[in-house]
Amino acid sequence: MPIELKMPALSPTMEEGTLAKWLVKEGDVVKSGDLLAEIETDKATMEFEAVDEGTISQLVVAEGTEGVKVGAVIALIQGEDEAPAPAKAAAKAEAAPKAEVKAVEKPGAEAPAASAAKAAEPASKSPAQDDRVKASPLAKRLASAQGIDLANVSGSGPGGRVVKADLDASAGTAKPAAAASAPASQTAPKPTAASAPVAGVGDDIPQEVVKLSNMRKVIARRLTESMQQSPHIYLTVDIQLDALLKLRGQLNASLETRGVKLSVNDLLIKALAVALMEVPDCNVSFAGDTLVQYKRADISVAVAIPGGLITPIIKGADSKSVAAIATEAKDLAQRAKEGKLQPGEYQGGTASISNMGMFGIKQFTAVINPPQAMIMAVGSGEKRPYIVNDALATATIMTATGSFDHRAIDGAVGAQLMQAFKRLVENPLGMLA
């Protein structure tokens, strides 16, 4: 009996995902540990591995399909010791997975079950629609889109089924379906995404409609909820960086033989973590009628990745050395950009830091990342006129703005955290003790 491959839950909160890409095709032999697919969750695109051995007999869900529910059958694997199912049994096995996929079809798209019903209609239908032509769901979709008559394609899949590889092999030789041969003059061209005007915008403006990824949808939802549900209060301080920059240079010189190079952000992560330990009333989360107070500082670091933003976590940053923070931050940022983070590496955290100084941004305010109650927004360090020892001088100044959830953190408590952060950055040896 075929083994059902189901959509996995790649994070504790995952309910559905996008089957971004198949890394195998029908007829491939797989073993435990082989990569089967790339699945896009609300935070990252993750690889899905096989746990069983056998031959991929059917890819039930086409790559690019969105909203695939956790637990839905996405493929079938034929065990190595199993004989191919008879044609009648294969047709029955094919019908069942299609019924499950019906729930994940895009709005407006024809459900596979409906297609099967049409295929059973009398002989007025074309061979491509006829039930006697066995083809995988993916091959049927591609054939329909390309106008290929499946009756003219030889199948190499189980029981003579037409699979995607057969369409690729017959490209240019298969006869088009009747519907595709209609003269172009009989059908008005559909507007493309690039030419379709957006409501409320002039139709003479060149534009493109870009579909939102799962990540962008979740970012939009969570940030909207944060601004609507968490009353933000913003506190800003100017911080002199010269002492920190000098210490960074000295530390980098001593760490060079170990292959470690500290960034300014690594030291700021450490400063925020130590400040949270000094002002524990800011290291909290609001939870309705309770307040959760954390005993260590796990700092979420905002990292820009293609299509969105993710916040990998430096856990226990208050007790780690700056060298350890630098090494871990570099590794997490690299794997975040490659979409290879595990859920536990970006879910959680007790506070966040977002640094846009590398873009030349002088000052900004950041949106709190729920359920956290604060985020530190850091601007660029720049030479400014500044009072040093009661005299006007030129110093390297950075502006930092803390965003606080006023339900959990009062303004005076937030101010204490900003003071502690400023003191630690301006006297950095204190945070290394």
Q: What is the pLDDT of residues 383-401, one digit of tens each?
A: 999 999 899 999 999 999 9
Q: Looking at residue 366, what is its pLDDT? A: 96
Per DSSP, 174 falls in state: S
- Is-contact 354 294, C-beta < 8 A? no
Positive or negative, the CA dihedral 296, 292, 312, 263 is: negative
Q: What is the pLDDT of residues 140-165, one digit of tens each?
A: 767 776 778 878 887 776 567 777 67
232 is catalytic: no
Q: Looking at residue 99, what is its pLDDT? A: 37
Q: Looking at residue 147, what is its pLDDT? A: 72
**Location of each CATH 2.40.50.100 domain in the chain:** 3-182
Rounded Cα–Cα distance for residues 374 and 413 (Å):
12
**Torsion angle defined by CA atoms of residues 272, 318, 406 and 368, in that order, rounded to the nearest 10 degrees:** 70
pTM of the model: 0.61
Q: Looking at residue 120, what is its pLDDT? A: 43
Q: Looking at residue 155, what is its pLDDT? A: 77
- Per CATH, the homologous superfamily of domain 232-432 is Chloramphenicol acetyltransferase-like domain (3.30.559.10)
Rounded Cα–Cα distance for residues 213 and 348 (Å):
22
Q: Looking at residue 82, what is its pLDDT? A: 58
347: left (phi > 0), else alpha (psi -120 to 50), else beta? beta
User: What is 394-428 written as a DSSP string?
Assistant: EEEEEEEEEEEETTTS-HHHHHHHHHHHHHHHHST
Specify the pairing of strand 299-301 against strand 351-355.
parallel
Q: Which residues of the chain have pLDDT under 50?
A: 85-131, 175, 177-195
Active-site residue, selected from the candidate residues 207, 406, 415, 419: 406
Q: Looking at residue 258, what is its pLDDT? A: 92
Rounded Cα–Cα distance for residues 201 and 222 (Å):
27
Is-cis flag, bond preceding 371, omega within 30?
A: yes
Q: Looking at residue 173, what is its pLDDT? A: 53
Q: Under CATH, what is the fold of the domain 3-182?
A: OB fold (Dihydrolipoamide Acetyltransferase, E2P) (2.40.50)
**Location of each CATH 3.30.559.10 domain in the chain:** 232-432
